Amino acid sequence: MKDTITIATRESALAMWQSEFVAAQIEAHTPFKTQLLPMTTEGDQRLEVTLNKIGGKGLFLKELEQAMLDGRADIAVHSMKDVPADLPADFQICAVFPRADESDAFVSNQFQQLAELPQGAVVGTSSLRRQAQLLAVRPDLTVKPLRGNVNSRLQKLDDGLYDAIILASAGLIRLGFDARINSRLTAPDWLPAVSQGAVGIECLHTDAELAAALQVLADEHTWQCVRAERALNLKLNGSCSVAIGALASYQPDDTIALKAGVFSPDGSRTITARQQGYDPVKLGGYVADDLLNQGAEEILALAD
Ligand SMILES: NCc1[nH]cc(CCC(=O)O)c1CC(=O)O
């Protein structure tokens, strides 16, 4: 087997941080050396429209996957949140790392938390899930689109375009912006995106030897939780845009507890479900069925 693993990565500061983290883990815990292959993806370039209109989350992966198919790279590193539930058949997730902070962060230069925002305040996010949960508790707020990488989103807040913005805490922490988190929006009242806070390694299905060699890096409990959340997402047909929140947590009795919610874009309708079980894929399916029985399909269709 080769002795250097080439890691395809997006070029954003967050993606580079995650890939450098994975490279260091590989060098510390396996016999391999590593090198990075930074690439621009269509998802990074097309900031003008919402992602679901141009093909969804897969746009952050396609170029990296092509590099693996061409033999220019061996693995790709992703925020698992950006990995579609229906991964193309040629690929597998061969390891996920322990989940970091899965919460969303409330970030503002004037206010400490959501409840402090004045009537009609402007909050920045392009996530339908965040928008819907914001409006569910504060229908008076004005939600304005905010895309781009973590640094540019913070810059837009500092430029005065918003009273507050919502970002993933994990991304802020990884880039050293912990101090910008005014407060956290946390489960069970607020649900993160499927797989939020987890970093994973993708490789070719055919690369079984490499996948096996990287198993020493895999966090089994995080993987089970991520699988439960992804199974739920797949059953609800969670294209990246839909307002689905979910969080699975590993319990002391070795079960997984999964809570999930589906929200209408204007925040007026919310349905949630929660179950516990041993089999992550079945659990995700059961919670999805519960949501579907409560009318999830109709609510999700409102986002199209
Ligand atoms: N959508 C982009 C994205 N993908 C993963 C993260 C954060 C890191 C993580 O969830 O692991 C972010 C930034 C954000 O949503 O604020």
User: Is residue 272 in a domain?
Assistant: yes
Are residues 212 and 262 part of one domain? no
pLDDT value for 300: 83
Sheet holding 244-250, edge to edge: 244-250, 256-263, 270-277
Are residues 146 and 79 part of one domain? no
Are residues 168 and 34 part of one domain? no
Contact 38, 9 (CB under 8 A): yes
Q: What is the pLDDT of residues 128-147, one digit of tens each?
A: 999 999 999 999 999 999 99
Pocket of ligand 1 (CB under 6 A): 79, 81-82, 150, 167-168, 170-171, 196-197
User: Is residue 125 in a domain?
Assistant: yes
Is 163 a residue of the active site? no
pTM, whole model, 2 decimals?
0.93
Domain CATH number, residue 292? 3.30.160.40
Are residues 89 and 202 part of one domain? yes
Are residues 203 and 73 part of one domain? yes
What is the spatial distance between Cα 141 and Cα 144, in angstroms, rounded to a whole number? 10
Are residues 157 and 31 part of one domain? no
Q: 89 C-alpha vs ligand 1 centroid, how far in Å?
A: 24
Are residues 158 and 19 part of one domain? no
Q: Which domain holds residue 88?
A: 4-97+198-218
Contact 239, 299 (CB under 8 A): no
Which residue has a Cα nearest atom 9 of ligand 1? 197
Q: Which residues contact 282 (CB under 8 A, 6 or more apart)?
A: 231
How many domains is the chain built from?
3
Are residues 167 and 41 part of one domain? no
User: Is residue 225 in a domain?
Assistant: no
**Total count of residues recorded for the chain:** 304
User: Is residue 223 in a domain?
Assistant: no
Q: Is the dihedral of CA 141, 147, 149, 154 positive or negative?
A: negative
Residue type, 135: L
Residue type, 211: A
**CA distances in angstroms from 218 to 140, 190, 273, listed in the order given:** 44, 27, 28
Q: Which two tokens stand for residue 141?
A: 């707020």
**Is omega for the bond preceding 118 within 30 degrees of 0, making it cis?**
no
The 10 Å Cβ neighbour count of residue 100 is 17
Q: Which of 282, 264, 266, 224 is nearest to 248 (CA)?
A: 224
User: Is residue 227 in a domain?
Assistant: no
User: Is residue 193 in a domain?
Assistant: no
Q: Which of 75, 82, 92, 90 is nearest to 23 (CA)?
A: 75
pLDDT value for 58: 72
pLDDT value for 25: 98
What is the spatial distance between Cα 52 and Cα 269, in angstroms, rounded to a whole number? 21
pLDDT value for 59: 77
Q: What is the pLDDT of residues 214-242, one digit of tens each?
A: 999 999 999 999 999 999 999 997 544 56
Which residue has a Cα nearest atom 1 of ligand 1? 82
Contact 258, 247 (CB under 8 A): yes
Q: 253 C-alpha vs ligand 1 centroid, how far in Å?
A: 30
Are residues 288 and 179 part of one domain? no
Q: Could you say which residues of the chain have pLDDT below 50?
A: 53-54, 239-240
Cα 258 versus chain centre, distance: 16
Residue type, 304: D
pLDDT value for 79: 96
pLDDT value for 240: 46
pLDDT value for 55: 52
User: Is residue 191 in a domain?
Assistant: no
Which residue has a Cα nearest atom 5 of ligand 1? 79
Rounded (10°) CA dihedral 14, 6, 219, 179: -20
Mean pLDDT of the chain: 93
